[in-house]
Structure formats: structure tokens, C-alpha cells
């Protein structure tokens, strides 16, 4: 059974979201950071469960990918939507966060 420190993993994700916001949503970095952090916070409990299950070989990489991806459409980007960011840019940012989450968790094993 693999031991992980989820708080460290979550902090890594938060830092990654900040970097992603700075490189993808130029001109609205603070709004993107806020929305990205909110997205992570909304997913935190599930991410902790899924990370533990994945690192303990209770779910596969494909199952984890599906679980994380299923959350994508339910998560709102309120600040970016309010300032009128194009839907395609919102989708790209969400996709970037999903990829960040997957790559971070996959890197644990």
C-alpha cells in the first residue's frame, strides 16, 4: 500500500493551477487563478479518495481519468464567465486543469 501525503499533492495542484492561469488566460490571471482554485476545492474530497484508490491499485489509470473527466462539465468558472471570456478559452483552461490533475496523480506511482 503506497503512502501519500494528499496535502502535498493538493498544494502541488494549486501551484500548477497558478502557473496554468499565468500562461493560458493572459490579462485575467487573478480571475483564472480564483476560478481554478475554486475548481480544485470543489473536487478536493473526490480527488483525495481517487488518489488513494489509484495509489493503492484499487482503480486503474483509465478509471481515474474517467472519474476526473466526469467532473469537468459540472465545474463552473464564475469569475471568467462574468468578465466574458470566450467559451473556447474556458474549455481550454478547464482541460488544462484536468490534465494537470491527471499528470500529477499519475506521477505518484
pTM recorded for the entire structure: 0.90
Low-confidence ranges of the chain (pLDDT < 50): none
Cβ-contact 45, 75 below 8 angstroms: no
pLDDT of residue 74: 80
Cβ-contact 52, 6 below 8 angstroms: yes
Amino acid at each position: 500500500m503506497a503512502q501519500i501525503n494528499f496535502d502535498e499533492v493538493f498544494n502541488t495542484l494549486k501551484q500548477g493551477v497558478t502557473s496554468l492561469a499565468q500562461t493560458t488566460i493572459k490579462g485575467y490571471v487573478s480571475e483564472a487563478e480564483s476560478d481554478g482554485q475554486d475548481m480544485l476545492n470543489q473536487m478536493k474530497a473526490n480527488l483525495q479518495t481517487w488518489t488513494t484508490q489509484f495509489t493503492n491499485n484499487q482503480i486503474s489509470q483509465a478509471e481515474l481519468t474517467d472519474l476526473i473527466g466526469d467532473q469537468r462539465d459540472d465545474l463552473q468558472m464564475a469569475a471568467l464567465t462574468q468578465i466574458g471570456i470566450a467559451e473556447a478559452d474556458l474549455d481550454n483552461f478547464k482541460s488544462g486543469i484536468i490534465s494537470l490533475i491527471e499528470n500529477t496523480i499519475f506521477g505518484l506511482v
